[in-house]
Amino acid sequence: MVVADGRRSRGPSPQKTAQTRQSVARAALELFLERGYRGTRVSDVASRAGVAKGTVYLHFADKQALFAGVLGDVLDARVTTLRAAQPGAEESLRDFLSRVVTPMLTAVEGSPWQGLIRLVMTEGRESPEVATIYRQRVLDPVAEQIRSWAATAADRGEIQTDALQRVPLLMLSPAMLATMWTGLYPDEPMTIAATFESFLDLAFGPRSASQHPPR
């Protein structure tokens, strides 16, 4: 853009643009967790972020895109890390899952991730776009990876059924159960990581001695 005296004006720097987007996404996350998806308006996000409503639309086309952006900020790196992880050559799937997945689930407790899971569970039916985004960004890629791990375990003779290949999201059921239970009965919380480990004991048997933490 050229101003009247012939000088070229400068737009916002990339750093400033990134900071503004981050402020908008952070404000949206706070409001989604406080008020839910349906209870959050773009104008409220703008007010919380301290920007004009039009600025929000410069970064996100609509509230659906805003939710997708927030979900991506919270989960994309974790999903990418999970999809890249593979059991070691001498490591059983059971031990691998305890080493890689259990610590990740421990970090979920009380985090925005858990709040977003609860939001999808409670509002996904009335706001199907929320459920669709969560499925595309999280459930489908994670299910694909679980199916691959299960196939490897079956080839190694570690499991005697194709249940996890047929229904890979069974592995996510402990996190969903614990989140639902804790939301309903907060005075008796169910720990996600402990619930997952119990599921692994049921599905694969106990961890090998080498994988137990020292006492």
Total Cβ atoms within 10 A of residue 167: 14
- How far apart CA 215 and CA 165 sit, in angstroms, is 35
Over residues 62-71, the mean pLDDT reads: 94
Q: What is the pLDDT of residue 192?
A: 93
User: What is the chain's length?
Assistant: 215
- Indicate whether 204 pLDDT > 90: no
Tell me, what's the pLDDT at 13? 80
CA within 13 Å, CB half, 126 = 8
Section 21-27 average pLDDT? 95
- Average pLDDT (178-197) is 93
Q: How confident is the model at residue 149 (pLDDT cuts 50, 70, 90)?
A: very high
pLDDT digits (tens, 9 = 90+) for 100-138: 999 999 988 888 988 998 899 999 999 999 999 999 999
